[in-house]
Amino acid sequence: MASASRTNQEYSALTIAATRIGFLILLLALWWLASINVARNIIPSPLATYHAAGRLFSEGRLQQGLLDSVTVYLSGYGIAILIAIPLGVAMGAFNLFGRTLEIYVYALSATPRVAFIPLIIVLLGLGIEAKVFIVMLGAVMPILINTYAGVRQADPELIEMARSVGAGRLRIFSRIVIPGAIPYVIVGLRLGATIGLINTVVAELYTAVSGLGGLLAIYGNTFRMAEYFVIVLCLAAIGVVVTESLRIIENRLGRWRD
C-alpha cells in the first residue's frame, strides 16, 4: 500500500509538471500568434525577446538590474518578516494588546502605500534605504494580519484537552497554537512576497531609477518592447522562485506538524 501511494504521488507530480510544460507551450504559441498579427513595435516575437535577453546579458545590464532589484526586494521582505511575525504572534497571544493595535493595523493596511512615498523620500532620500522601506511597508501588513489571525484561530478543544492533562501555557503555545498558525503565516508570506515584489518596481520608479524597475521605465518610454518583455519575464521569474520556495517550506513544515 505504501509503495502504491508513493507511486500515485510521483505520478501526480509528473502529471502536474507535464501539464505546466504543455500550458507554457500553449502560451508561447499564443504569444507568437499575437506577435505576427499585431505591430511588432507593440508585441515582439518570442525569438526577438530571446535575442534581446542575450544582448542585455552580454552588456551586463540584465545582471546588474537583477542584482539591484533582488537586493532591495529581499532586504525589504526580510525586514518585514522579522517585524511582522513576532508582532503578529504577540498580538494573538495577548488579547488586550492585539485588540488595542488591530484597528491601527487594519487602517494602515487599507491605506495605499503609494501615499507614503513622498514622505519616505523626504525622510530617507532616493537611495536604497527608501526603496527597502517601501518594500517592507508593502510586505509587512499581510504577514502581520495573517499571523495574528492564525494565532487567534487556535483550536479551543485542543487547548482545553492539553490543560486537562496538566500542560502549561508555554507548552500549549509552542505545541498547539504556533503549529496551528503556520498555514496562516505561509499565506501571509505569499501575499507579502507578491506585494513586496510589486513595491520593488514602484520604489525603483519613484526613487532613483535603477534595477529592473528602472529598466522597465527606460524601455517602456522608448518603445523597445523586446527588452521590455525581457524585464517583465524576469520579474515573473522572481515571483515564481519565491512562491515555489515558500511552497516547499510549507510542505516541510506540514510534515513537521504531522
Query: Would you write out the chain's pLDDT as a tens digit for each of its 258 residues?
Result: 444 444 444 557 778 778 878 888 888 888 888 778 776 667 888 888 888 888 888 888 888 888 888 888 999 999 999 999 999 988 888 888 888 888 888 888 888 777 788 888 888 877 888 889 989 988 999 999 999 888 887 666 666 566 665 655 666 666 667 777 788 888 899 889 888 888 888 888 777 667 788 888 888 778 888 888 888 888 888 888 888 888 887 777 666 555
SS3 per-residue string spanning the chain: CHHHHHHHHHHHHHHHHHHHHHHHHHHHHHHHHHHHHCCCCCCCCHHHHHHHHHHHHHHCHHHHHHHHHHHHHHHHHHHHHHHHHHHHHHHHHCHHHHHHHHHHHHHHHHCCHHHHHHHHHHHHCCCHHHHHHHHHHHHHHHHHHHHHHHHHCCCHHHHHHHHHCCCCHHHHHHHHHHHHHHHHHHHHHHHHHHHHHHHHHHHHHHCCCCHHHHHHHHHHHCCCHHHHHHHHHHHHHHHHHHHHHHHHHHHHHHHHHC
Look up the pTM and report it.
0.78
